[in-house]
A and B are shown apart, each in its own frame.
Chain A
């Protein structure tokens, strides 16, 4: 199935550094979601974006819905060791038979060194 282009694939950073990752698509999405997945667990929703241009924060996390509706980015400020995990972007198109159906990025593996 179609996937979003998520980059970078992996990041190795020092504790305290800021992190940025993004997703792009050739298709338009009406919703962008960012998830974090810990090993052996299901993804947990971090931020949801519903409007083009929307900028939303959740603690140290900030995400934006691109104006063109074909991209989104996630920033993590002042990283801490528990930020370690895999981050996924996901996009969703409008209603119809595809209601709720998500398209996922390939994931960004984040490693934070103390």
Chain B
């Protein structure tokens, strides 16, 4: 099946710094990718839709200037958490639908801001 690779799997950063998370579709092209945030024992909450060649679409309540999304190519989307604070600590997951419209997920990134 389709594979979505996310990197890094874990990152610890200091408060005030920025962190970039990459999401790659390894064996298919994805014009659209999705970024989710998940708190412990909770469901996945959609943050934004990443669109290749155009601006990302953010869900209500998500700060676009804080969570910068760039869909650089048909196989790569990046999420940058800018000026991170401890409350941004969470599990971030990307997904991409392949040509059969199925949504495959990356392995997730555990972000800890200290």
A11 at the interface (CB under 8 A from B): no
Interface range on chain B (Cβ under 8 Å from partner): 20 to 34
A96 at the interface (CB under 8 A from B): no
Q: Using an 8 Å CB-CB cutoff, how does the interface string of A73-114 with B read, 1 for contact, 0 for none?
A: 000000000000010101010000101111011110100000
Interface range on chain A (Cβ under 8 Å from partner): 20 to 34
Give CA–CA (A26, B23) in the complex, Å.
Answer: 33
Tally of A-B residue pairs with Cβ under 8 A?
65
Give CA–CA (A33, B44) in the complex, Å.
Answer: 14
Residues of B within 8 A of A (CB): 1, 4, 6, 9, 32, 34, 41-46, 49, 57, 59-60, 91, 93, 95, 97, 101-108, 110
Closest 4 CB pairs of A and B: A42-B105, A100-B97, A42-B108, A104-B43
Besides A86-B41, A109-B41, 20 more A-B contacts (Cβ < 8 Å) are: A1-B45, A33-B102, A33-B103, A40-B108, A41-B108, A42-B4, A42-B105, A42-B106, A42-B108, A43-B44, A45-B102, A45-B104, A45-B105, A48-B102, A88-B44, A100-B32, A100-B34, A101-B34, A101-B46, A107-B43
